[in-house]
């Protein structure tokens, strides 16, 4: 029996959002965006190096500020490339890249699981191969040159890099490849590419753990339905690695708090600037 229209029955609750990161982006957009971002970064880095050389800097041994600016430009260009190719399908929204709320409790459990899995894998990998090489990227960027250099390197490696790299790889690349063979294959492919882009900036022995880290971050993005947990875990890992390279102890906790506030402020600004719809 049909009920009268004037009886106001409560509407059923909306179904939970799908966890799949797939959207309307073509899988071919993933490699195209990667190549475009890399190509633009190489060209931009060459321009920065040329300007520095014209100002009297060494071409073979450029100052740390050149490396710093080139790395910052690369991160920005990867984000720009992702937005450009996403716009080829439809006008992208922040939520399309995973910039959306998620269940905090579930996200925290997934974050801890992903990070612990990475640490265990990295420790076993290092023990089996007897690796002891450490990243020198912090020193190359000039963290030890001055207080200003230290702050700049912290901002780049612990705030900018986690946001930009996660935006590109887990926010765009992973969803695009998901439309090819599903999320599991996409997670493997994205992880391999994520490890490969660190060639030159990380010891060769660290590339496999980094690829595994990228794979885990894809699963975190998929199962949490949000990019925020990925950014958080990436930032935590970079903070810990930075602190260890500087032989810090208690300072790492202070660094984590400062970076957390910096990321929150940055993402809050993005949320206010970009339209939700």
| CB-neighbour burial class of residue 124 (10 A; exposed 0-12, middle 13-18, buried 19+) | exposed
Q: What is the DSSP letter of 199?
A: B
From CA 101, how far away is CA 107, in angstroms rounded? 10
- pLDDT reported for residue 10: 47
Nearest to 193 by CA among 10, 13, 33, 9: 33
pLDDT of residue 275 exceeding 50? yes
Pick the residue with more confidence: 61 or 112?
112
| CB-neighbour burial class of residue 5 (10 A; exposed 0-12, middle 13-18, buried 19+) | exposed
What is the pLDDT confidence band of residue 133, given thresholds at 50, 70 and 90?
low
Q: Which two tokens stand for residue 120?
A: 């265990």
**pLDDT single digits (tens) 6-30:** 444 445 444 444 456 767 899 999 9
Phi-psi sector, 203: left (phi>0), alpha (psi -120 to 50), beta: beta
Calculate mean pLDDT across residues 188-217.
92
- pLDDT reported for residue 12: 43
- pLDDT reported for residue 135: 59
Largest CA distance in the chain: 86
Q: What residue spans define the domains of the chain?
A: 95-273
One-letter-per-residue 3-state SS of 124-159: HHHHHHCCCCCCCHHHHCCCCCCHHHHHHHHHHHHH
């Amino acid at each position: 029996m049909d009920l009268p229209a004037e009886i106001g029955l409560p509407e059923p609750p909306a179904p939970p959002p799908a966890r799949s990161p797939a959207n309307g982006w073509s899988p071919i957009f993933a490699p195209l965006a990667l190549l475009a971002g890399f190509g633009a970064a190489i060209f931009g880095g060459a321009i920065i190096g040329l300007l520095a050389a014209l100002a009297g800097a060494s071409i073979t041994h450029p100052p740390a500020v050149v490396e710093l600016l080139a790395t910052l430009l690369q991160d920005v260009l990867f984000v720009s490339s992702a937005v450009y190719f996403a716009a080829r399908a439809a006008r992208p929204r922040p939520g399309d890249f995973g910039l959306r709320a998620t269940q905090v409790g579930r996200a925290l459990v997934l974050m801890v699981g992903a990070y612990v899995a990475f640490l265990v894998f990295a420790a076993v990998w290092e023990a089996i191969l007897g690796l002891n090489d450490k990243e020198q990227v912090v020193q190359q960027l000039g963290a030890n040159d001055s207080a200003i250099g230290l702050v700049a390197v912290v901002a780049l490696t612990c705030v900018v890099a986690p946001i930009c790299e996660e935006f590109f790889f887990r926010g765009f690349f992973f969803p695009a490849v998901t439309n090819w063979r599903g999320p599991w294959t996409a997670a493997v492919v994205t992880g391999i590419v994520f490890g490969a882009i660190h060639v030159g900036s990380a010891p060769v022995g660290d590339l496999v753990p980094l690829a595994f880290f990228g794979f885990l971050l894809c699963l975190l993005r998929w199962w949490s339905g949000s990019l925020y947990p990925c950014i958080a875990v990436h930032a935590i890992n970079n903070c810990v690695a930075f602190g260890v390279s500087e032989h810090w102890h208690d300072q790492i906790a202070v660094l984590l708090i400062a970076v957390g506030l910096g990321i929150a402020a940055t993402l809050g600004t993005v949320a206010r600037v970009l339209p939700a719809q």
